[in-house]
Amino acid sequence: MIEDIVKLKKRGLTLQEIAEKMNMSLGKVQYRWNKYRQQQVTSKEVSATKEIPAQPKETKKEKWSMPFEYKEASACLMPHTPESLYVYWSFSESIKNMAEHHFRTKWEDLPGVLKVYDVTDIIFYGHNAHRTFEIDLPPMTNNWFLNSLEPDRTYIVDIGTRTFDGSFFTLLRSNPAETGSAETNSSYDEKIERWKHQDITQPEWLENFSTYSYYQKIR
């Protein structure tokens, strides 16, 4: 019980508030708290006089708090509706530095641009999309709902900037994601036929999850 009181106290609650929260009388809470404080003082004195060295490391670390975004290079594209996808991203310091270095321009002054590639049924290598379009991003943007997409297509999104001569320059590339079906499909599907007849070992459609591995680029 005293642990809870201490915890709540640390969260900045008054004894009155703690009493209410814990469904105890104020007197009880006060009593417990004072007793605890006395114990703390004596134990400190004891440790001061006896010099007990091996106290567990009480390094006063700053408590980790949930950031707005993580300083890592990633772009994640997520399915949403048959006409929309969601992408969020973040940059590492390293990528920001490299962009600044390559363009010799301050990060804040580099225009943010998002490029959408329709990569349905192709192995995309950066230049062979069926269709692409670009969106100029407002500053400080780290996510976007991509609306008005076509159903049943596979998309990839790049986050990048624009060169002085107007070309798009990729800084981050997302995983591929599919917009779902919007309507009833035909009664025949080649891909499922090939799959059923085991003509192929891997499905010819996108499966959602990445077998992410930590050492993915190490052979």
> Which residues, numbered 121-180, are part of the site for other proteins (CB under 8 A)?
125-127, 143, 145, 152, 158, 163, 165, 167, 169-171, 173, 178, 180
CA distances from 103 to 73, 90, 96, 98, 166 (A): 18, 19, 11, 8, 13
Q: How far is the CB of 138 from other proteins (least distance, A)?
A: 15
Q: How far apart are CA 176 and CA 122, in angstroms?
A: 11
Q: Does 4 bind other proteins (CB under 8 A)?
A: yes
- Cβ-Cβ contacts under 8 Å for 176 (sequence gap 6 or more): 77, 119, 124, 154, 155, 156, 206
User: In this chain, which of 10, 11, 50, 196 binds other proteins, going by CB under 8 A?
Assistant: 196
Number of residues that bind other proteins (CB under 8 A): 84
Q: How far is the CB of 98 from other proteins (least distance, A)?
A: 5
Pair 112, 170: CB distance under 8 Å: no
Q: Which of residues 26-55 bind other proteins (CB under 8 A)?
A: none
Q: Which of residues 56-115 bind other proteins (CB under 8 A)?
A: 56-57, 59, 61, 63-66, 69-70, 72-74, 76, 78-82, 86, 88, 90, 94-95, 97-106
Bridge pairing between strands 143-146 and 131-137: unpaired
Q: How many residues does the chain have?
A: 219
Q: How far apart are CA 69 and CA 90, in angstroms?
A: 7
Among residues 14 and 49, whose Cβ is nearest to other proteins?
Answer: 14
Among residues 49 and 209, whose Cβ is nearest to other proteins?
Answer: 209
